[in-house]
Amino acid sequence: GRLVVLVSGSGTNLQALLDASADPSYGATIVAVGADRDGIEGLARAERAGVPTFVEKLSSYGSRADWDTALAARIAVHKPDLVVAAGFMKILGEPTLSAYPVLNTHPALLPSFPGAHGVRDALAHGVKVTGCTVMLADAGVDTGPIVAQEAVRVFDGDDEHLLHERIKTVERGLLVDTVGRMAREGWTIAGRTVRLGSGGEQK
């Protein structure tokens, strides 16, 4: 299956997918990496792996709708079966969501602690267990159907960075396994069957 991965930061989730997809038996290849900003490690990781990249900045457009349309057009060039938002810090609009199944990953056990500060919010709440979630993206913020989750313990000395790094270690494995299973076996979730390869997605 053909993956387009969207990033906004360090790209360690992307790197895990790049490493896994180097094995032909994984069942998916990353055909392009997109970002909403320049100069991030995620783009450098793609370039080092010889994967085409593109950047679409919201600030380049007069409206959110124009950016949504432009981003969907850049993705379409690569004809993906699946889009993976891996640390992509923008809400994807209808042009992308209606064209492809989109997987997103979040560093908390949704529906707890959605949004851009899930690790900080979990820590502040004093939870003893948090974790990560892989879900199908919808038009909301971290509200799509949950596909996979894994728990991560919180330790007394944890600060946001330490906890997030511990979560990310688990998260990249969860994302790699979920994408690989979707690619090889297909996945039915919330009435949608995502199967990569020939037809992309069957309803």
Query: CB of residue 107 vs ligand GRF: minimum separation in angstroms?
Result: 4
Q: By C-beta, is 145 or 197 nearer to ligand GRF?
A: 145
Binders of ligand GRF among residues 32 to 61 (CB under 6 A) are: 42
DSSP assignment of 139-192 equals SSSS-SPEEEEEEEE--TT--HHHHHHHHHHHHHHHHHHHHHHHHHH-EEETTE
Q: By C-beta, is 3 or 195 nearer to ligand GRF?
A: 3
106 is catalytic: yes
Q: By C-beta, is 128 or 161 nearer to ligand GRF?
A: 161
| Under rule CB under 6 A, residue 21 binds ligand GRF | no
Please give the biggest Cα pair distance in the chain.
Answer: 49
User: Is residue 179 within 8 Å of 78, Cβ to Cβ?
Assistant: no
Taking the C-alpha atoms of residue 93 and residue 159, their distance in angstroms, rounded to an integer, is 33
| Under rule CB under 6 A, residue 107 binds ligand GRF | yes
| Under rule CB under 6 A, residue 106 binds ligand GRF | yes
Taking the C-alpha atoms of residue 36 and residue 133, their distance in angstroms, rounded to an integer, is 22
> What residues line the site for ligand GRF (CB under 6 A)?
7, 9-14, 42, 86-87, 105-107, 168, 171
